[in-house]
């Protein structure tokens, strides 16, 4: 039997509850007719392919096409105690819910410090993730919101930067684990935009690695990262069955 995960609670501000997410969801939810959903799907797909930096269109496409994949993710989260706690408590990841000053003070090579360093090095903020609007089921809406808010943590623990090569690599891991159409399309079509040097590294190293990690590692969307901030990253990798592509995370983060 797999051992129970150690809980690491530093840096959590427990301000978010089920009721808080429900109120937030009601505030932003936009119901769609079948025709409206079809039009949004077609339009967001076309714009996303033409401009992969249109995060709003990629988010829209994910919500209008992702129901079967979200059901798959929900079932996988329900299959283990850690995922069940996430679904029950519905935590959020942003500057209001996570004490980033505490993460900054953590030792190097901890999960929380790695995540904090990733945000700083790549000039990323956890407050930039859009609210879910077009998912009608509240549980599936939370799963999509959770996916968006842990995406940067995936980058951090996989030691991948926010370059096009890093994004495509992470998208392959996410595509294999979540089955979300936007992840699959991002992985496939994002690779087309790689420069020659990046494409060579992608084909020889990062793609084979991402395919292996996506299939063999634990289901990362079902990990309660907020309980693990103090966990040594090496220990986390071992528990998740992740073999890093390189050992020196700083060389990838920059």
Q: What are the pLDDT digits (tens) for 196-247?
A: 999 999 999 999 999 999 999 999 999 999 999 999 999 999 999 999 997 6
pTM over 0.75: yes
Binding site members: 151-152, 155, 167
Q: Alpha helix (H) ranges present in the chain? A: 18-28, 34-50, 55-65, 67-78, 81-89, 100-105, 111-121, 138-158, 164-178, 181-192, 196-201, 207-216, 233-240, 249-253
**pLDDT-derived band of residue 52, with 50, 70 and 90 as boundaries?**
low
Q: State the average pLDDT over residues 119-145.
A: 93
Kindly tell me if the per-residue pLDDT of 14 is higher than 60: no
Binding site members for Zn(2+): 151-152, 155, 167
Instruction: Kindly state the DSSP code that residue 228 receives in the 8-state scheme.
Output: B
Kindly tell me if the per-residue pLDDT of 170 is higher than 50: yes
Distance between CA 22 and CA 230 in Å, rounded?
A: 29
**Which of 218, 228, 183, 217 shows the shortest CA–CA distance to 91?**
228
Are 71 and 189 a contacting pair, CB within 8 Å?
A: no
Distance between CA 243 and CA 252 in Å, rounded?
A: 15
Helix 55-65 to helix 138-158 angle (10° resolution) is 130
73-94 pLDDT, tens digit each? 999 999 999 999 999 999 999 9
């Amino acid at each position: 039997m797999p051992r129970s995960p150690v809980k690491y609670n530093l840096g959590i501000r427990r301000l978010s509850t089920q009721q808080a997410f429900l109120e937030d969801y009601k505030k932003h939810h936009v119901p769609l007719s079948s025709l409206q959903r079809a039009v949004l799907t077609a339009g967001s797909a076309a714009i996303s392919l033409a401009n992969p930096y249109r995060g709003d269109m990629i988010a829209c496409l994910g919500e209008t096409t992702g129901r079967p994949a979200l059901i798959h993710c929900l079932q996988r989260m329900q299959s283990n105690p850690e995922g069940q706690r996430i679904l029950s408590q519905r935590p959020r990841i942003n500057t209001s819910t996570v004490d980033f000053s505490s993460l900054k003070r953590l030792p190097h090579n901890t999960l929380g410090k790695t995540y904090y360093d990733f945000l700083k090095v790549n000039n990323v903020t956890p407050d930039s993730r859009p609210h879910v609007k077009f998912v009608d089921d509240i549980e599936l809406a939370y799963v999509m919101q959770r996916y968006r808010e842990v995406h940067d943590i995936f980058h951090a623990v996989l030691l991948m930067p926010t370059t096009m090569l890093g994004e495509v690599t992470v998208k392959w891991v996410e595509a294999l684990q979540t089955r979300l159409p936007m992840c699959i399309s991002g992985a496939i079509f994002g690779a087309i935009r790689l420069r020659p040097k990046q494409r060579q590294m992608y084909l020889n190293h990062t793609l084979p690695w991402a395919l292996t990690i996506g299939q063999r590692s634990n289901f990362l969307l079902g990990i309660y990262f907020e309980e693990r901030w103090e966990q040594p990253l090496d220990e986390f990798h071992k528990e998740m069955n992740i073999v890093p592509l390189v050992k020196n995370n700083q060389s990838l983060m920059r």
